[in-house]
Amino acid sequence: MARPDTLIVCLVLIAAGMAAQPANADGHVLHPHDEVHNWGVWGKDDQKGAANYMTDERVVEAARLIRTGKRFSLAIPIDATGPVFPGRLNPHHTMVATGTDYAAGLSGPLDFGVYRFADDYIYMPLQGSTQWDGLSHGWYGDTLYNGVPQTQIGATGAAKLGMENLKDSMIGRGVLIDVVAFKGGPLPSGYSIRRADLEGALKKQGSKVLPGDIVIVRTGVVPHFYTLENAVERAEFWARPQAGIASDVVPWIKQTQVAAVATDNIAFERMPNEDDPDHLAPLHGNMLRDMGVYIGEIWWLEDLAADCAKDGRYEFFLAAQPLHIPGAVGSPLNPVAIK
């Protein structure tokens, strides 16, 4: 669980940076909606956004990338040890029926006779682990992707743009862009990953991004978090700017027609944004609201990256479907890359 001292440091940092900076006419401070949007591209009632780029044909093409059957989980464990954005709780897993209960004669409501059962619950933010941010998760002004009014996101969940729209999606071609390898080592805290870094890494790898891809950018932030040994180190980590995607990548994301961009950092984008330090996570507005492009965060990429470096293949089949939770604005998942 994120410790209170950690939270305080981070929230003070965010609050300190959030003096009022006027937004553009469309309510955004960076790339204006008119320059980078996909509203209406798949119809005025569309609720899937850039997941529409993942066509049946592209899934078939992606399946052809499976050659060895080697599989890599791209998830961190869902437990109390992971990095979770300040203000959210770490997942809490609890047992309500166990073998030790039976042994102690306490089987209670699960006493069905010869066969015995263990049961467990999990309580967690859907944004508290390896996750997708859905199109109902972030916006600016009073409208979401495709002009959906913010009042559609209410106490019972998202009436529009919920994760149920993706229940059979986010499966297709994945491409790893290993920015850590390209830069020759771990990115310093606050490193802004620019378009030139992505294009440079792709060139070095000899890989291409295609429409409908899930692009996965390795930053090294999540593995770095797991090396921190105590609360003081974690507090320092949260107090520092976070390495992540920079503003100039947004038009590239639009042009490449990718379905999603996932990262092994906390919040996808560089925090705070260098061009707009006054507002929290402005690229989320362009990604989710304007372009309908999904954001993946807190992914685990170390094992996959090591294998890609070994065999030189950075493209793979990726099964990254979210949980089917009607009205959810995001979802934890266990993405699996298959080579």
CB nearer to ligand UVW: give 136 or 205.
136
Residue among 125 and 211 whose Cβ is closer to ligand UVW: 125
**Shortest CB 269 distance to ligand UVW, Å:** 8
Tell me how far, at minimum, the Cβ of 136 lies from ligand UVW, in Å.
Answer: 12
Minimum gap (Å) between residue 157 Cβ and ligand UVW: 16
Query: How many angstroms separate the Cα of 35 from the Cα of each of 26, 62, 251, 289?
Result: 11, 30, 8, 13
Interaction between residue 127 and ligand UVW (CB under 6 A) = yes
- In the stretch 69-108, what mask flags binding to ligand UVW with x, by CB under 6 A? ----------------x-----------------------
> Which residue's CB is nearer to ligand UVW, number 133 or number 164?
133
Q: Under a CB-based contact definition with an 8 Å cutoff, are residues 273 and 251 in contact?
A: no
Write the secondary structure of 218-286 as one string of H (helix), E (strand) and C (coil).
ECCHHHHHHHCCCHHHHHHHHHCCECEECHHHHHHHHHHCCCEEEECCCCCECECCCCCCCCCCHHHHH
**Beta 336-338 vs 214-218: how paired, if at all?**
unpaired
Neighbours of 12 (CB within 10 A): 11
Closest CB to ligand UVW among 166 and 281? Answer: 281
Shortest Å distance, C-beta 57 to ligand UVW: 31
CA distance 148 to 329: 14
Question: Judged by CB under 6 A, which of 180, 198, 261, 281 binds ligand UVW?
Answer: 281
- 287 near ligand UVW (CB under 6 A): no
Which residues in the 261-280 window bind ligand UVW by CB under 6 A?
267, 280
- Using CB under 6 A, pick the residue from 46, 133, 213, 315 that binds ligand UVW: 133
Closer residue to ligand UVW, CB minimum distance, 138 or 272: 138
Position 108, amino acid: G
Residue 39 to residue 53: CA distance in whole angstroms? 14
Task: CB nearer to ligand UVW: give 220 or 296.
Answer: 296
Tell me how far, at minimum, the Cβ of 123 lies from ligand UVW, in Å. Answer: 18
- Least CB distance from residue 92 to ligand UVW, whole Å? 18
| Ramachandran bin of 14, using left for φ above 0, alpha for ψ from -120 to 50, beta for the remaining angles | alpha
297 binds ligand UVW (CB under 6 A): yes
In the three-class reduction of DSSP (H, G, I as helix; E, B as strand; rest coil), residue 8 is classed as helix
Least distance from ligand UVW to the Cβ atom of residue 108, Å = 38
Alpha helices in 49-189 (DSSP H): 56-63, 99-103, 179-183
Q: Cα dihedral angle (97, 124, 144, 39), rounded to 10 degrees? A: -70
Chain positions contacting ligand UVW, by CB under 6 A? 85, 127, 133, 138, 267, 280-281, 284, 297
